[in-house]
């Protein structure tokens, strides 16, 4: 197996290696080296980025006991130089170290075990075994984690050949066979881990919990550390300043200002609904029928560009006030939306199904109301078919 240099030297940025195997898979190239500084994805942490020769490293993973480096172009040389993108490595190491500290904080305070850890270039999260954690508990864990960070505790590693030599105070049991690598955070935390970490807790700078979610009886804690936290803080401050200008309210008064806007918006929506219904009833009374038949009148609105709720209310009003009648309304889009109402002996659902027997559409309804969709190119033919049916 490839020698994984990062396990003992996480600061390694450049290394010399030898290509021991090559393969091409679906337009990408896989390289196996005799030794590597690139972190192999696993344990919730993505693999490192960087270069091997002139090729960019896209992914590093283990498959059937082999460590494969997926690169974006062929590497013809056997002796290669690999370079790790240390900016990405350091960011992942900061987030991963912060996860150790935060997980131990929730375990110490509330016996909430971390069941999974997810790290990407955009987000970090842990799933805790307790599904009903309160805001106060989440805040307490964050506070303890930041207290540990401020102490500047050293991050250490040790290797053990078997489980019998492991310390008793591990936060979780190892799942791997063979040599076991332990990562310690001073005297605060110790657990088996194959990931990369920083040298001291001070490099984590601070942890900020951004959100929590309830998922499958667990609590998911979404957080950021270090530079990510600083960038998030700057982004939110900028957003607060924009809101302050828009609302003419400082940060502390923004919730009340937004609540007032929401209340006003609800009142306006109710008034809008009332007025639109009055308007639809007026349109229902004043609308001129497209055709008059022995069984009743037919109304057609082929290009409706207003609200869908208004369309439904208009058709219902026509059925109520102009009976016996059939009304059809089309919203011109692709696919076009078609609505049919009937207060006559003719069933709206049956008329729509008849159209679908001839045209490629979908939808359904009952005797009084039906709705669905048709390809826009077939709408005019469908309306002509409907008029012919009504005339018969």
Specify if 248 maps to a domain: no
Q: So what's the pLDDT on residue 162?
A: 79
Q: So what's the pLDDT on residue 26?
A: 83
Check whether residue 96 and residue 227 sit in a common domain: yes
Average pLDDT rounded to a whole number, residues 289-315: 94
- pLDDT tier, 223 (very low <50, low <70, confident <90, very high otherwise): very high
Whether 225 and 133 have beta carbons less than 8 Å apart is answered as no
Check whether residue 74 and residue 100 sit in a common domain: no
Check whether residue 141 and residue 190 sit in a common domain: yes
Specify if 250 maps to a domain: no
Whether 367 and 348 have beta carbons less than 8 Å apart is answered as yes
Whether 186 and 166 have beta carbons less than 8 Å apart is answered as no
Check whether residue 379 and residue 297 sit in a common domain: yes
CA angle in degrees (0–180, nearest 5) for 209-258-233: 30
Q: So what's the pLDDT on residue 361?
A: 82
Specify the CATH number for the domain of residue 204: 3.30.980.10
Q: So what's the pLDDT on residue 206?
A: 95
- pLDDT tens per residue across span 66-125: 999 999 999 999 999 999 999 999 999 999 999 999 999 999 999 999 999 999 998 999
Q: So what's the pLDDT on residue 265?
A: 97
Q: So what's the pLDDT on residue 357?
A: 84
Check whether residue 167 and residue 80 sit in a common domain: no
| Helix axes of 86-110 and 226-247: crossing angle, nearest 10 degrees | 80
Q: So what's the pLDDT on residue 90?
A: 96
pTM summary value: 0.74
Specify if 240 maps to a domain: no
Specify if 115 maps to a domain: yes
Specify if 197 maps to a domain: yes
Specify the CATH number for the domain of residue 40: 2.40.30.130
Closest CA to 207 of 293, 282, 148: 148
Is pLDDT larger for residue 152 or for residue 1?
Answer: 152
Q: So what's the pLDDT on residue 78?
A: 93
Whether 113 and 192 have beta carbons less than 8 Å apart is answered as no
In whole angstroms, what is the distance from residue 358 CA to residue 369 CA? Answer: 20
Q: Which of 32-41, 83-92, 360-369 is the least confident region?
A: 360-369
Number of domains in the chain: 3
Check whether residue 74 and residue 167 sit in a common domain: no
User: Where among 60, 84, 108 does a domain terminate?
Assistant: 84
Specify if 245 maps to a domain: no
Check whether residue 120 and residue 66 sit in a common domain: no
Specify if 354 maps to a domain: yes
Closest CA to 355 of 385, 315, 331: 385
- pLDDT tens per residue across span 351-363: 999 888 888 888 8
Check whether residue 104 and residue 219 sit in a common domain: yes
Closest CA to 99 of 60, 155, 175, 58: 155
**Contacts of the segment 198-202: beta carbons below 8 A, 24+ positions apart:** 198/90, 198/93, 198/94, 198/97, 198/155, 199/154, 199/155, 200/152, 200/153, 200/154, 200/155, 201/97, 201/101, 201/148, 201/149, 201/150, 201/151, 201/152, 201/153, 201/155, 202/149, 202/150, 202/152
Only one residue has tokens 């605060």, namely 188
- pLDDT tens per residue across span 183-216: 999 999 999 999 999 999 999 999 999 999 998 8
Check whether residue 197 and residue 104 sit in a common domain: yes
Mean pLDDT across the chain, nearest whole number?
94
Q: So what's the pLDDT on residue 216?
A: 84
Q: In this prediction, what percent of the chain has a pLDDT beyond 70?
A: 100
Specify if 332 maps to a domain: yes
- Tell whether the model's pLDDT for residue 270 goes beyond 90: yes
Specify the CATH number for the domain of residue 378: 3.10.310.40
Domain that holds residue 314: 279-391
User: Where among 57, 84, 111 does a domain terminate?
Assistant: 84
Check whether residue 131 and residue 148 sit in a common domain: yes
- Distance (Å) of CA 246 to CA 78, 269, 309, 346: 61, 21, 31, 54
Which H helix or E strand runs over 59? strand 55-63
Check whether residue 220 and residue 354 sit in a common domain: no
Count the residues in the chain: 392
Q: So what's the pLDDT on residue 177?
A: 73
Only one residue has tokens 């077939």, namely 378
In whole angstroms, what is the distance from residue 186 CA to residue 162 CA? Answer: 23
Check whether residue 94 and residue 80 sit in a common domain: no
Q: So what's the pLDDT on residue 218?
A: 95
Encoded tokens for 223: 């957080």
- pLDDT tier, 3 (very low <50, low <70, confident <90, very high otherwise): very high
User: Where among 166, 199, 234 does a domain terminate?
Assistant: 234
Q: So what's the pLDDT on residue 262?
A: 96
């Amino acid at each position: 197996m490839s020698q994984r240099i990062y396990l003992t030297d996480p600061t390694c940025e450049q290394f010399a290696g030898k290509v021991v195997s090559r393969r091409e898979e679906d337009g990408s190239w896989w390289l196996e080296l005799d030794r590597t500084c690139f972190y192999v994805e696993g344990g919730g942490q993505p693999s490192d980025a960087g270069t091997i020769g002139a090729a960019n490293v896209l992914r590093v993973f283990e498959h059937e006991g082999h460590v494969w480096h997926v690169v974006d172009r062929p590497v013809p040389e056997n002796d290669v130089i690999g370079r790790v993108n240390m900016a990405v490595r350091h960011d992942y190491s900061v987030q991963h170290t912060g996860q150790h500290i935060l997980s131990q904080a929730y375990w110490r305070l509330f016996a909430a075990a971390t069941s999974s850890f997810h790290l990407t270039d955009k987000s970090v999260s842990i799933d805790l075994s307790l599904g009903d954690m309160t805001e106060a508990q989440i805040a307490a864990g964050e506070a303890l984690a930041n207290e540990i960070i401020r102490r500047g505790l050293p991050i250490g590693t040790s290797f053990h050949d078997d489980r019998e030599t492991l310390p008793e105070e591990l936060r979780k049991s190892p799942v791997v066979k063979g040599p076991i690598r332990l990562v310690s955070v001073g005297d605060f935390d110790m657990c088996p881990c194959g990931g990369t970490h920083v040298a001291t807790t001070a490099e984590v700078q601070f942890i900020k919990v951004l959100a929590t979610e309830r998922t499958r009886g667990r609590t998911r804690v979404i957080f950021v550390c270090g530079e990510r936290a600083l960038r998030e803080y700057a982004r939110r401050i900028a957003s607060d300043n924009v809101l302050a200008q828009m609302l003419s309210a400082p940060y502390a008064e923004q919730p009340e200002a937004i609540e007032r806007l929401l209340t006003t918006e609800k009142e306006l929506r109710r008034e809008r609904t009332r007025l639109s219904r009055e308007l639809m009833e007026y349109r229902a009374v004043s609308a001129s029928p497209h055709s008059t038949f022995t069984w009743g009148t037919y109304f057609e609105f082929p290009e409706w560009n207003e609200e869908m709720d208004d369309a439904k209310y208009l058709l219902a009003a026509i059925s109520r006030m102009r009976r016996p009648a059939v009304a059809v309304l089309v919203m011109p889009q692709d696919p076009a939306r078609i609505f049919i109402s009937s207060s006559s002996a003719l069933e709206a659902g049956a008329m729509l199904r008849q159209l679908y027997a001839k045209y490629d559409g979908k939808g359904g309804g009952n005797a009084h109301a039906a709705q669905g969709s048709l390809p826009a190119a077939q709408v005019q033919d469908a309306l002509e078919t409907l008029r012919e049916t009504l005339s018969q």
